[in-house]
Copies of this chain bind each other. A is one copy, B any other.
Amino acid sequence: MTNEAPSRRYAKGDAKRREILEAALTVISERGYRNSSLQEIAEAVGLTKAGVLHYFDSREDLLTHVLRERDVAYGDLFTPADGDVVELLRKAVVYNQTVPGLVQLYSRLAVESESHEHAGHDFFKERYQTLEGTLSESIRARQRAGQMRTDVDPVAMSHVLTAVSDGLQMQWMHDPTIDMAAAFDAVVAVLAPPAP
């Protein structure tokens, strides 16, 4: 938990910490999650395992922070000022097709963090809750604007869109030829209101 607060650190340490986060994703992308041990990541930044664990509480904690960084880079998908989260989610799906390492990492952690003891448990729990809130709100906005049928429950449909995003990635990892964007668009299209 001490690592959570970025309060008191040297500039060198701060840079190294960021370097580790980047290296972790690079190693996963190049060698696969399965072969990305703490050792491998440490070597990639010229440290030992213990050296890396000085910055992060555990391997799980490190990998979770990589995902946190990603969400930051994704902009305000999870804290949108007023944007359409459905559209943001679609953009994320499209973008994910260019970063297989990130998809691997995300899928692994999303499943592993089911355990309460997992360092990323709270992160994912909150992420799913936030996503339910912002997505369902965007769906309601679309319904008010006449862009989406009104006979669907916004909360149920937010679960569906989240599931589609997560689930498509699982299939895509097994078969990268499937078109995630097309599949996502197929759902959204069906949600459009019938022509008068």
Contacts and interface: CB of A to CB of B under 8 A. Distances in A.
Interface of A: 32-34, 104, 107-108, 110-115, 117-118, 124-125, 128-129, 149, 151-153, 156-157, 159-160, 162-168, 170-171, 173-175, 178-179, 182-184, 186-187, 189-191, 194
A183 B156 contact: yes
A163 B171 contact: yes
A110 to B, nearest CB: 6
Contact of A183 (B124, B159, B173, B187): B159
Copies of this chain assembled into the complex: 2
B174 A128 contact: yes
25 contacts: A34-B118, A104-B114, A108-B111, A110-B170, A114-B170, A114-B173, A125-B174, A125-B175, A128-B175, A149-B190, A152-B186, A152-B189, A152-B190, A157-B183, A159-B183, A160-B164, A160-B168, A160-B183, A163-B163, A163-B164, A163-B165, A163-B166, A163-B168, A164-B167, A187-B187
Contacts of A125: 174-175
Nearest to A118: B34
Nearest to A107: B111
Contacts of A113: 174
